[in-house]
Amino acid sequence: MNPTQPLANSLHQATLEALRRQAPFSAMAAADVLWLVQRLSVAYFAQDEALLEPGESAPAALYIVKQGTVAGTTRDGQTVFQLAAGEMFPLGALLAGRGVANRYLAASDVFCYLLPAQDFRTLLAQSAAFNDFCTRRIASLLEESQRAVQAEYALALDDDDRFKRPLDTLIRRAPLAIAPNRPLREALAAMDASRAGSIVAMDTAGRPVGILTLKDVLTRVTLAEVPLDTAVSAVMTPQPATLSADAAVADALVLMARQGIHHLPLVRQDRLVGVVSEKDIFALRRLSVESVTSALARIDDPAHLPGLAHDIGDLAHNLLAQGMDAENLTAIISGLNDRLTARLIELESTRDPALAGLSWCWLALGSEGRMEQTLATDQDNALIFRTADSDQQRALRAFALRVNTRLDACGFPLCKGGIMASNPQWCLSAGEWQHQFTVWIEHGSPEALLNASIFFDFRPLAGETALASDLRDWLNRSARKNPRFLHQMAANALRNRPPLGVVRDFVLSDDAAHPHTLDLKLNGATPFVDAARIFSLAAGSSQTNTAGRLREAAPPLRIPEHELADWNRAFHFLQLLRLRHQHTQLRTGRMPDNHVDPDTLNPLDRRILKEALRQARKVQARLAMDYGL
């Protein structure tokens, strides 16, 4: 080490400006940052030189990396984290007044600012922002990132992408139609029963030949005192303006403005397929959970569900702009997708007489089972039934195939691995499911462990939920009685190491399809998901959600509360980063994925990503310790 004297006055302003560009200094009062700068000294460390060694004595100073990279290593020389410009250490040791647990080495030539320990404690007392950051490091970083995200997305809320949508995505139900020679009484009764603002007069070929709206009823029927047995053709607007169902929303607005109309029949090959109103279009600006769920309840044709799936994505964007955290946002996305799927299952099952009298339950698996769906998710589902003969099983699989196909049309691609309820392998009786889980638990082969990581996250979605609840109770008892299986699951989970680099910040993919990227799902979120599943099984929890599993497992497994909080914060940041990345891709017409180039992130998010991956290593370290790996 080659320390210099405290910073000269001529450098104070430049140092202050440099620090103020980074957390936590960006949130601190200018006077407090200046106070800090006036007490800093600068130290130089040559590559491979030790900055701090493990020991019993508390550190003499707080280190702030000015230039270069500092590596944190274990006693046996394994690098567990890296610190870059702007990062501080060793916060934990300084706050607790203990020696450092890791060795800090200069991974390159390094310059650090040093703040004496006594001044560090004084600054903690006088700056609430500095204290908050030091005691809640990842939480404080996440809050700063969230504020930036909120500002970024709020600016995009007024874009015109919603007006580029095809009109058929706004169709919520079959069009209300009547023959033009039918009496007004029938038309008005149908409008009242459907709570519709219009009814279309349609000829025998299915072509719209007129339209009658509530405004027409007031002016042409009520005020004109027209008898209710008058034919609809006498009071309707003949030859109404129409648009192709594939036309853009903007085209409808233009046509409505030019002709002064508020309802527009949509056609496909000249045949009526739906009606949109001005209210439907401007409801795009007022998307809410209630509006989506209400629309779902009104839909009576599965063919109209894709439009609502699009609305769920739009709502997710709005909630991002309002600053919603990832845990609640993924839960809302999953909850709405649940409702969409349940409505689809209801519509398909009630129309199938072959299912009458059968006891079955639709199971959500994978991210849907954990209620952690993002904007890019395929289908993972299964069926469990009580008893069924061969004909009834064929009927169940045919029903499941219709549902799987409809979900694909709604933007949930068919599972490439065939993990779907229509696959005979995953449409089983309660007894067959118990046998299948027993085989996985007892054998512990790589394929069994892979299946366990998917199927152990099952959750009932529709049908007789007791079938799933009974299976969950049985599974928890069986898994806890087989510690060897949990040990194998832990060993398998630890093969997926978070991609933190030794030379660079991250280990990036060299895959030709996604070069120079990190897979935020596989290498970021999955270590938390896998560990939480194992902790949950060991604790006998019935939870399937990752954060919920960690919270329920923490007390019986004696996981410290602060560790649990940091794990969940890190996991949810990775989820939020995935959501933001996928939404950006969707807005630019690309297929959403989980592959992010860290170089495209702003410095704050890049810094939090590093911290999140360090937390993933910590949760894996706990898993390794519990299972002696």
- The mean pLDDT value for 87-114 works out to 88
| N-term to C-term CA, the chain | 37
Query: What would you report as the CA-atom Rg of the chain, rounded to the nearest whole angstrom?
Result: 30
- pLDDT tens per residue across span 476-500: 888 888 888 999 999 999 999 888 8
Does residue 154 have a pLDDT over 70?
no
- pLDDT tens per residue across span 520-556: 999 999 999 999 999 999 888 889 999 999 999 999 9
- pLDDT tens per residue across span 314-356: 788 777 766 677 787 888 888 889 999 999 999 999 999 999 9
Q: Could you tell me if 553 and 535 are in contact, meaning their C-beta atoms sit under 8 angstroms apart?
A: yes
- The mean pLDDT value for 592-601 works out to 90
Report the candidate in 476, 584, 601 with the shortest Cα–Cα distance to residue 538: 476
- pLDDT tens per residue across span 26-64: 888 889 999 999 999 999 999 999 999 988 788 999 999
- The mean pLDDT value for 392-408 works out to 96
- pLDDT tens per residue across span 10-29: 677 888 888 888 878 888 88
Q: In the chain, what percentage of residues exceed pLDDT 90?
A: 47
Q: Could you tell me if 579 and 316 are in contact, meaning their C-beta atoms sit under 8 angstroms apart?
A: yes
Q: What is the pLDDT of residue 321?
A: 65
Q: What is the pLDDT of residue 428?
A: 97
Q: Could you tell me if 369 and 459 are in contact, meaning their C-beta atoms sit under 8 angstroms apart?
A: yes
Let me know the angle formed at the C-alpha of 381 by 478 and 402, rounded to the nearest 5 degrees: 145
The pair of three-digit structure tokens given for residue 230, joined into one six-digit string: 């008058």
Q: What is the pLDDT of residue 384?
A: 98
Mean pLDDT of the chain: 86
- The pTM of this model reads 0.67
User: Could you say which DSSP state residue 220 is in?
Assistant: I
* Phi-psi category of residue 289: left, alpha or beta, with phi > 0 → left and psi -120 to 50 → alpha: alpha
Does residue 253 have a pLDDT over 70?
yes
**243 beta partners:** 266
Let me know the angle formed at the C-alpha of 35 by 29 and 38, rounded to the nearest 5 degrees: 140
- The mean pLDDT value for 153-160 works out to 50
Map out the domains of the chain with their CATH numbers: 2-135 (2.60.120.10), 174-283 (3.10.580.10), 325-481 (3.30.460.10), 489-626 (1.20.120)
For residues 114 and 100, give the distance between their C-alpha atoms in angstroms, rounded to a whole number: 16
Q: What is the pLDDT of residue 607?
A: 81
- The mean pLDDT value for 582-586 works out to 83
Report helix, strand or coil for 66. Answer: strand
Residue 593's CB is within 10 A of a number of other CB atoms, namely 17
Q: What is the pLDDT of residue 287?
A: 62
Q: What is the pLDDT of residue 549?
A: 94
Most confident of 106-110, 163-167, 445-449: 106-110
